[in-house]
Structure 1
Amino acid sequence: MCQLLGLNCATPTDASFSFTGFCQRGGGTDHHADGWGIAFFEGKGLRLFVDPLSAAVSPIADFLQHYPLKSKNIIAHVRKATYGEVSLQNTHPFTRELWGRHWVFAHNGDLHGYEPYLHSHFRPVGTSDSEQAFCWLMQELAKSHAALPSIEELTITLRELVPQISQFGTFNFLLSNGEALWAHCTTKLHYLIRQHPFAQATLMDRDWTVNFADLNQPGDRVAVVVTTPLTSNEQWTAFEPGQLIVFVDGTPLP
């Protein structure tokens, strides 16, 4: 299985602390060594970095840990290959354009016998079940709405579409269009909200403690979503199986 990391923030925030711990799981403290990737939204723009090397040894991952980029929505992934060879085209996150916006998707799990009918311009480049699922979601969203709908409308549509994929297996995923972060759990996903009054956090996968009170303002707020908790001294909330949560400005919407 792979692992997921997502950040949704009220103000542009760098992910260096979380990303540094997360990278160790890509072949360092864990076995997810079959590629990694991270996407940063900047307004309507997108910075995407993917590499089929292990995140624990990748020079690009090391560069990003020391050259933090600030964003309100960030999705990262470390891969343990099951469907599809270890290659650049099968490395998450995947991106597509819809309604004049970038969309980013990363998946953890296996979909057995999943062969969706793709009849629009959303088609996979690689051979992973994950990219097929992403293409089908984009295709069906495009069919359901003539133009960019509200976050609430998108969430309703996703709640109708996701069970049609998750019936084929494990479908933990993160999805963002730069305005919101959608997170769905089949088996394992956790989140926390960092906000005022900020406190210290200590990574589980690396010897690093940060006092966020020294780095943030009262109006800052960050939602962190991850497969397995990244820190040992913060209160993480586990998703319920089948739960889809949308985060906006660092807050989970009801």
Structure 2
Amino acid sequence: MCELLALNANTPTDMGFSFRGLSRRGGATGEHADGWGLASFTPGGHGLTLLREEAPAAFSVLADQLAERSPKALVSIAHIRKATRGVVALENCHPFSRCWGGQTWVFAHNGDLQGAIPLGDHHRPFGSTDSETAFCWILEQLEQAGVNPQNPGALFDQLHHCAAQLAERGTFNALISNGQWLFATATSKLHWLTRRAPFCKATLADLPLQVDFSAVTTANDVVAILSTEPLTTDEHWQPFQAGESLLFCGGQVIHRSRHGVRPVPIPARSQPAPAHEVP
């Protein structure tokens, strides 16, 4: 299986500290040594920096450089791979990216999906993973449903519906973003936390490294971090429930639901300020 990492914030933020911890699991403290990738949207959400290698992240010079100087973004997604479907090759490394609805989309997956996933002609995988095939299928479902890519509520409903269908095929822990918001879903394992004022110190679980976030943030910063397994030892990580999907914008949860369960109401304080709402 693989491991996921994502960031969503209300101000351009780098993911270097978290990516450093994740990288150690890519061949040093973990067995996910079959490739890695990091995708960061430019602060406006229109451009994308995507770097991937079919090598262990723990021993990669490029991954080390990114941990030192990762791009600042409102949304970043990273992945370390343990190959279960598809050979060890660059085209099978996550995250994957595609264009749909005039936007660039990024996707990463942890899990195994059984059976052939039917695809149309518009979106086809370049590699041989079930993950990339699922990504192509999701984009086709959005297209067939006629979802407006500028409507986060409608997108959440359709993505959650797709997640429920894919979960019937196996394990579907996944991240997807268009650079404006971050959709996350889990059937087995995914954790998240929100960093906001008053900021504290955090210590990595896989490396003796600590950061005092109060020294590198402002009082207005809000940052959500998602990871397959908790990356730090002294922060409160919340586990996803089985079948749960969350939509993040501006570092906060704006939509939440579970397969077969009525949507969970979000407390008023968790709603992003109008300035950070997706138009």
What corresponds to 1:183 in structure 2? 184
Given the alignment of the two structures, is residue 247 of structure 1 paired with residue 248 of structure 2, yes or no? yes
1:13 is aligned to 2:13: yes
AA of the residue aligned to 1:222: V
Aligned equivalents of 1:229 and 1:66: distance in 2?
A: 21
Cα distance in structure 2, aligned partners of 1:137 and 1:186: 17
Give the one of 111, 114, 117 matched to 1:112.
Answer: 114
Checking the alignment, whether the CA contact within 8 Å between 1:120 and 1:139 is kept in structure 2 is no
Displacement of 1:121 after TM fit?
1.4
Aligned length: 253
Q: Structure 1 residue 68: deviation in Å?
A: 2.5
Query: Matches of 2:137 and 2:18 in 1, distance apart?
Result: 30
For 2:53 and 2:118, the matched residues in 1 are separated by 29
TM-score (norm 2): 0.89
- Report the alpha carbon displacement of residue 142 of structure 1 after superposing the two structures with TM: 1.2
Structure 2 counterpart of 1:19, one-letter code: F
Flag structure 1 segments of 5+ consecutive residues without an equivalent. none
The aligned amino acid for 2:63 is: A
Which residue of 54, 63, 73 maps to 2:75? Answer: 73
Deviation string for 1:84-133 (max 9, x for gaps)?
A: 000000000000001111100000000112x1221131100000000010
Structure 1 range deviating more: 4-13 or 58-67: 58-67
Task: List 4+ stretches of structure 1 deviating above 3 A.
Answer: none
Ranges in structure 2 where 5+ consecutive residues have no aligned partner:
255-265, 267-279
Give me the whole-angstrom Cα distance separating, in 1, the residues matched to 2:114 and 2:149: 31
User: Does 1 or 2 have the higher relative contact order (CA < 8 Å, sep 6+)?
Assistant: 1
Map of 1:228 onto structure 2: 229
Between the aligned residues of both structures, percent identity stands at 46
CA apart distance, 1:146? 5.7
Instruction: Report the RMSD for the aligned CA atoms in angstroms.
Output: 0.9
Task: Tell me how far apart the structure 1 counterparts of residues 211 and 88 of structure 2 sit (CA, whole Å).
Answer: 34
> Would you say the 8 A contact 2:54–2:89 is kept in 1?
yes
Mean alpha-carbon deviation: is it higher for 48-57 or for 143-152? 143-152
Q: Report the CA distance between 1:245 and its aligned residue.
A: 0.4
Q: Secondary structure at the match of 1:56?
A: helix
Shift of 1:62: 1.2
User: 1:170 and 1:22 mapped to 2: Cα distance?
Assistant: 21
**What residue number does 2:104 align with?**
102
